[in-house]
């Protein structure tokens, strides 16, 4: 229903009434005059996946607008009050996957705090929520994906994926510290509210012994970087390491080398770099020094498959052949998680389709 400026409400209602008895998936991205109450029409049916975009939801009545079979819910650019959102979750007793993308949430709390709870929720993807505080109580949560927002949550996480996010490391650690079964940690393009803070690798190694996939990209600074590498504990189970730079400097190659030492069972490392179109002689020299350092490391860690991905719209590269090295260039630009702007509704639909087809309850960004 996407692609048209506005539909007649009567037409949309007629179509929904005709099909609601057999609907299992509904992707609703349509403007109508007047607004159509999707919950009232599709409640008490067999709907399992619901994605709503560019719409408004109000007056939720969980006793009448109940979704007994709904497992996946996505709300993108939707206007809704905090009360209606809480009631909506209450009306979905089997909900496992929740996605909130840039919703317009009317908060009744003067402190701008949104509190949600769902005992069945396993996966949550949250993007661009502009609130002072967002708290989620979920006993079964396994996967957490944050982008440009803040969230307070409790234990049992297995996957934490955070991008374009400003954090206090100590507070963020408190959020995930109870997740002893954490398998994947991705902190990409994170910035620190305190300029002297850094990702504490020693704490990660000690508190998350089952971690097998680690992805880090943030601004490195001399002194602060060395503090983050302190400690002697290894990341014993990490087999995949993804590292990236926002602005390359002379500290990066040293940081990569120290991380390799801390991952004795590493099998694959991917280096993500952003290369600007116009470079000074100094920048070329830094990149050349980094390349030389990586060649030396590859000779030392021959058992590790190393892959480079340099991202720029206008960039060419030479491919090097080696038994343990592959160099890849993406000339189309940055991956979806690195582009500026907001996800469109088609991205949401693709993610939910993958969930349904694979049987997994977790929406992920594919690189």
The tens-digit pLDDT sequence of the chain (367 residues) is 545 567 888 989 999 999 999 999 999 998 888 889 889 899 889 999 999 999 999 999 988 889 999 999 999 999 999 999 999 999 999 999 999 999 999 887 666 778 888 889 988 898 888 776 677 777 777 787 877 766 555 556 788 888 776 667 777 777 777 777 889 998 888 777 666 677 788 888 988 999 999 999 877 665 556 556 778 899 999 999 999 887 777 788 888 998 999 999 999 999 998 877 667 788 788 888 888 988 998 899 999 999 999 877 444 343 333 333 333 332 223 333 333 434 444 454 555 455 445 444 444 343 3
Residues 6+ apart with CB under 8 A from 134: 113, 114, 116, 126, 149, 150, 151, 152
- Contact predicate 38/63, CB 8 Å: no
Where would I find the H helices in the chain? Answer: 9-19, 38-42, 82-90, 169-176, 201-207, 224-228, 251-261, 281-300, 345-358
Cβ neighbours for 286, distance < 8 A, ≥ 6 positions apart = 248, 249, 250
**Whole-prediction pTM value?**
0.61
Task: State how far the Cα of 211 lies from the Cα of 109, in Å rounded to an integer.
Answer: 38
- What is the Cα–Cα distance from 72 to 121, expressed in whole angstroms? 9
Q: How many other C-beta atoms lie within 10 A of the C-beta of residue 328?
A: 11
CA 285 to each of CA 219, 249, 316: distance values in angstroms, whole numbers, following the listed order? 19, 10, 18
Please name which of 84, 122, 78 lies closest in space to residue 101, comparing C-alpha atoms: 78
Nearest to 28 by CA among 58, 65, 64, 54: 54
Q: Among candidates 293, 279, 203, 210, which has minimal Cα distance to 251?
A: 293
Domain boundaries, the chain: 14-154, 193-314
């Amino acid at each position: 229903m996407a692609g048209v400026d506005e539909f007649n409400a009567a037409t949309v209602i007629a179509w929904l009434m005709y099909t609601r008895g057999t609907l299992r998936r509904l992707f609703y991205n349509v403007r109508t005059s007047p607004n159509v109450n999707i919950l009232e029409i599709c409640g008490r049916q067999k709907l399992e996946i619901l994605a709503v975009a560019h719409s408004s939801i109000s007056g939720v009545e969980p006793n009448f607008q109940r979704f007994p079979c709904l497992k996946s819910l996505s709300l993108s650019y939707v206007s809704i009050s905090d009360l209606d959102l809480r009631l909506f979750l209450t009306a979905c007793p089997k909900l496992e996957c929740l996605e909130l993308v840039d919703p317009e949430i009317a908060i009744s709390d003067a402190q701008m705090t949104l509190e949600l709870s769902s005992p069945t929720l396993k996966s949550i993807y949250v993007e661009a929520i502009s609130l002072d505080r967002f708290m989620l109580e979920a006993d079964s949560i396994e996967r957490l994906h944050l982008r440009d927002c803040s969230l307070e949550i409790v234990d049992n996480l297995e996957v934490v994926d955070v991008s374009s996010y400003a954090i206090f490391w100590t507070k963020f650690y408190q959020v995930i510290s109870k997740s002893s079964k954490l398998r994947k940690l991705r902190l990409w393009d994170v910035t620190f509210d305190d300029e002297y803070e850094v990702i504490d690798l020693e704490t990660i190694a000690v508190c998350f012994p089952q971690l097998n996939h680690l992805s880090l990209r943030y601004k490195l600074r001399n002194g602060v970087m060395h503090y983050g590498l302190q400690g002697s504990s290894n990341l014993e189970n990490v087999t995949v390491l993804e590292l990236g730079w926002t602005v390359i400097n002379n500290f990066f190659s040293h940081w990569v080398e120290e991380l390799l030492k801390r991952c004795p069972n590493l099998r694959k490392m991917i280096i993500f770099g952003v290369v600007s179109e116009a470079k000074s002689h100094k920048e070329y020299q830094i990149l050349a020094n980094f390349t030389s350092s990586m060649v030396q490391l590859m000779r030392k860690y021959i058992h590790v498959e190393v892959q480079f991905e340099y991202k720029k719209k206008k960039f060419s590269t030479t491919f090097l052949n080696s038994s343990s090295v592959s160099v890849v260039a993406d000339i189309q630009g940055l991956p979806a998680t690195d582009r500026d702007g907001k996800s469109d509704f088609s991205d949401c639909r693709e993610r939910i389709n993958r969930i349904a087809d694979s049987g997994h309850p977790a929406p992920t960004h594919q690189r």
